[in-house]
Chain A
């Protein structure tokens, strides 16, 4: 009896779970479907769920300028992420382990960089990079994205470092290691899950960014999201090709997430130390 009742109740639990999953995955699946549809099928009412798939959209995108932009996106996002994670990890460790006067204020100042709306700094950035002759270069975007990502990484990673019991580092010190090796051999390996999580966030942020990329690039360094917007033309919007391009923009993030997935899961179960 109770077993039946329990399994029925368990089943009921799946309803909200399913609802949430659908609301998140639905639009994404819709987009994937659109990539395989012809123009006519895309606008069919009622929407077609069974149709004859076509790879024409992908073919068009693969042969277009968009691939270059996708490459730009990947280069900018990867370099900015590596840069942000490296600096962020070191800074976060410093803030976590060495308290100094007003360190909390400094920390908040770092976070406030992340709170800045892009619109607010758009024009200054434009002027700065104009005078530095860095407009329309990868370097400009890497610098700008790192400003946002470093502050984010510092905050997230400080939380992970704070969770490491101080005795672990003390034990390593007593065992004969200096400060650098304590960091390298004890603290750093323990925040790898945190680093993986932060890296995924930074990567998504950099791959997604539109406004600043739109303002700071014109042709050579155009990123994926900016290129996407250019699929709208005078003759109308080609949704099939836009969807195909968007799907390809997801691929680098998906690959990275799959590579670090074990660490992400460990990141969620972090804190079970003894």
Chain B
């Protein structure tokens, strides 16, 4: 039960500047996910919180107390490692007892605790096994149990689901979230899997090249990405992009591309301050595009809506993902319901794309910051 505050954290590994000024606050009981590609500094930040890496500068506060100079063992934290880090010479029972014995808890009490954690994780028949006798999923549960048996102030998870197969990942994800909610332990969860982040997080911290790109709820980072990186990183399939220029004429703003010229709706016009000829990146989510098959064609130049040809259709049960060749080097993905009412499509078919304008996102092509 505690809060974590990170203030202007920098981490260097020799010449490499891995974390370049990270500041954030994790509230009591919150599950905060660090999301980003590999090498973005998310794991370094987590390891610094754990005390396994020394920061070059900046402060880490747990419950308003600076812990920079405390040993990992003195910070009252628990961690689940990607590799699980189980001790090959200890049984499951000994793993559970290990953190408790560090705190010199009396043995009868330890036995009671082991009983209840084995109950929670359904590990009763396995408590006398060694790690080599466990499946990946069971080993994962031991790692979780070892971390939680002590009820730490902070629970740190470093890509804990990476070594599990897809089905087990989804299953364990739910278990983790349930346990976190039940125990109310403030948690930090590191992952590069944005789907995992979306489904677990109260708050997502998106990082890239050692910097925080955006902090927000899963919905916020999905709907209102602050820059091109976040927009492209969050969501599967990712947001579709196409480079355009803005031009203003007669109080109208037109998004101009070689193959189309999209007129912005009036309420959007007021929100775009950028000037004539400004280079922008148009972004739109796969579910915010409507498809209409077209036959033959009007001259290419005067189209209002972008067009494309169906490249491939991937059925996903109740929906389908349609890949579209929009220009030679731009491939878009569109999410579409797979019900019978929808017009059937086939590969090679030309289609017109109607973009839902209030879901349209514009990014400055140079600064990559969001304009609209």
Say whether B10 faces chain A, with CB atoms less than 8 Å apart. no
In the assembled complex, the Cα of A168 lies from the Cα of B103 at a distance in Å of: 19
Question: For residue A168, which residue of chain B has the nearest CB?
Answer: B85
In angstroms, Cα B132 to Cα A181, docked, is 24
Majority DSSP secondary structure for residues of A touching B:
helix
Q: In the complex, are the beta carbons of B72 and A173 less than 8 A apart? A: yes
State whether B88 touches A175 (Cβ < 8 A).
no
Mask: chain B, 126-167; 1 = CB below 8 Å from A; 0 = not: 000001100000010000001000100000100000000000
Q: A177-B102, A273-B88 are in contact. Are A171 and B73 (CB under 8 A)?
A: no
Q: Which of A174, A272, A274 contacts B77 (CB 8 A)?
A: A174
Alpha-carbon separation in the docked complex, A177 to B71 (Å): 9
- Are B89 and A178 touching (Cβ within 8 A)? no
* Contact residue among A170, A175, A189 (Cβ-Cβ distance under 8 Å from B146): A175
Is A186 an interface residue, CB under 8 A from the partner?
Answer: yes
Q: Within the assembled complex, what's the spacing in Å between the Cα atoms of A178 and B84?
A: 20
Q: B87 contacts which chain A residues (CB < 8 A)?
A: 168, 171-172, 186, 189-190
Known: A167-B83, A272-B132, A273-B88. Is A176-B103 also a contact (CB below 8 A)? Answer: yes
List chain B residues, Cβ under 8 A from A190: 87-89
Q: Give Cα A168 to B77, complex, Å.
A: 16
**Given A190-B89, A274-B131, A274-B132: A174 and B83 interface contact (C-beta under 8 Å):** no
**For the complex, what is the distance from the CA of A167 to the CA of B98, rounded to whole Å?**
15
Residues of A within 8 A of B103 (CB): 176
| B253 at the binding interface (Cβ < 8 Å) | no
**A174-B78, A178-B73 as given contacts; A165 in contact with B102, CB under 8 Å:** no
Q: Which chain A positions have C-beta within 8 A of B85?
A: 165, 167-168, 170-171
Residues in B whose Cβ lies below 8 Å from that of A272: 132
User: Is B52 located at the chain interface by the 8 A CB criterion?
Assistant: yes
Q: Does B79 contact A (CB under 8 A)?
A: yes
| CB atoms of A174 and B132 under 8 A apart | no
Asked whether any CB of chain A lies closer than 8 Å to the CB of B81, the reply is yes
Asked if residues B52 and A173 are in contact (CB atoms below 8 Å), the reply is yes
User: Given A172-B98, A272-B132, A167 and B81 touching (CB < 8 A)?
Assistant: yes
Q: Which residues in A have their C-beta under 8 angstroms from that of B79?
A: 170-171, 174
The residues of A that contact B83 with a CB separation of less than 8 Å are: 165, 167, 274
B140 to chain A, nearest CB (A): 11
Q: A165-B83, A186-B87 are in contact. Are A175 and B78 (CB under 8 A)?
A: yes
A181 to B52, CA, bound (A): 16
Q: Is the CB of B139 within 8 A of A274?
A: yes
Flag B80-112 by CB within 8 Å of A: 1 or 0 each: 010111111100000000110011000000000
B4 located at the interface, meaning its Cβ lies under 8 Å from any Cβ of chain A in the complex = no
Cα distance A52–B315 in the bound complex, in angstroms: 88
Fill in one digit per residue for B55-77: 1 if any A CB lies within 8 Å of its CB, else 0.
00000000000000001111001
User: In the assembled complex, which residues on chain A have CB atoms less than 8 Å from the CB atom of B50?
Assistant: 170, 174
A189 to B90, CA, bound (A): 10
CB distance A175 to B98 under 8 Å? yes
Q: Residues of A with Cβ closer than 8 Å to B?
A: 165, 167-168, 170-178, 181, 185-186, 189-190, 272-274
- Interface pairs A-B: 4 shortest CB-CB: A176-B102, A167-B85, A171-B85, A175-B99
30 contacts between A and B (CB under 8 A): A168-B86, A170-B50, A170-B72, A170-B79, A171-B81, A171-B87, A171-B146, A172-B87, A172-B98, A173-B51, A173-B52, A173-B71, A173-B72, A174-B52, A174-B72, A175-B78, A175-B99, A175-B102, A175-B146, A176-B150, A178-B73, A189-B89, A190-B88, A190-B89, A272-B132, A273-B88, A274-B84, A274-B86, A274-B132, A274-B139
